[in-house]
Amino acid sequence: MRNLFLFLWRNQFFTLFIILEIISLLLLSNSFSYHRSLRYNTVSDFTGSVFSKYTNVTGYFYLQKENQDLVAENARLRSLIPPVAEGLDSLHYYPDSLYGYIPATVVSNTVSKPNNLIMVNRGYKDGVEKEMGVISSSGLVGIVIGVSEHYSVIMSMLHQNIRISGRIKKNDQLINVVWDQTDYRLGTISDIPSHIQLQAGDSIVTSGNSLIFPKDLLIGVVESHDKESGGLLSKALIRFSTDFNSLRHVYLIKSFMAVEQKSLLSQIHE
């Protein structure tokens, strides 16, 4: 701890620069709607490298817990990998799979703004593209909205313009998931038919109806369900499965069929 304080003191101007950069990014993030965010073409590699260096310093204090989490996650992923695919690098492409996963480390993250963004240390050199889904070892994280050579910006689930197509796992009922906007741990599910009764602990997963996320990825679990009398649809509160405040590692989802699917949809809409 003493060495860290000495490091920060000797590099006080560099530390001030980092703080100013963070403030600038936070102010910038509040100006993006969803559609404008998708046109967010420029992600600064320089800014990303600054965040990476800062993260390397602060990340030292989380190493023990992170290593434990990574061991557990690697064990889970290894159990899902077919024997023929073992020994490949960290980006796994399987002939019998529709998706590949690119591991990344979070270098910048916010949880208390109306429009929260996450920056990670993977860019188009690593195969990242805009509108790729992002998950953690616990569940859904967000959608990629900006990519540079070495870094990417993710629209977090904690964003007022994000809306995820989900379903209630126990009965396959389709619903929509948005952020509660008051607590980084909580979200809201809407469009619940009046005949559906939810219980605390019921799982909410991705529907698989979008071109971004595979089906059955965990989004969260029900906290409470308040049915309005006389209403055709109701809402419920859920607790996100991902802890965005301690998010350190994520996986970016590459859909191998996305180009073909989008091409087919464009033909239909012509």
Q: Considering the domain boundaries, does residue 134 fall inside one?
A: yes
Q: What is the pLDDT of residue 129?
A: 94
Domain that holds residue 58: 1-254
- What DSSP letter does each residue of 193-222 carry, written as one string? ETT----TT-EEEE-S-SSSS-TT-EEEEE
Q: Considering the domain boundaries, does residue 270 fall inside one?
A: no
Q: Considering the domain boundaries, does residue 268 fall inside one?
A: no
pLDDT digits (tens, 9 = 90+) for 226-255: 776 556 788 899 999 999 999 998 999 988
Q: What is the pTM of this model?
A: 0.68
Q: Considering the domain boundaries, does residue 85 fall inside one?
A: yes
Tally of structural domains, the chain: 1
Q: Which of 1-10, 133-142, 216-225 has the lowest mean pLDDT?
A: 1-10
Q: Considering the domain boundaries, does residue 181 fall inside one?
A: yes
Q: What values do phi and psi take at 193, rounded to 5?
A: -55, 150
pLDDT digits (tens, 9 = 90+) for 4-58: 656 655 666 666 667 767 776 666 555 555 555 555 545 555 556 656 665 665 5
In the predicted structure, residue 220 carries a pLDDT above the cut 80: yes
Distance from C-alpha of 160 to C-alpha of 213, rounded to nearest angstrom: 19
What is the enclosing helix (H) or strand (E) of 175?
strand 173-179
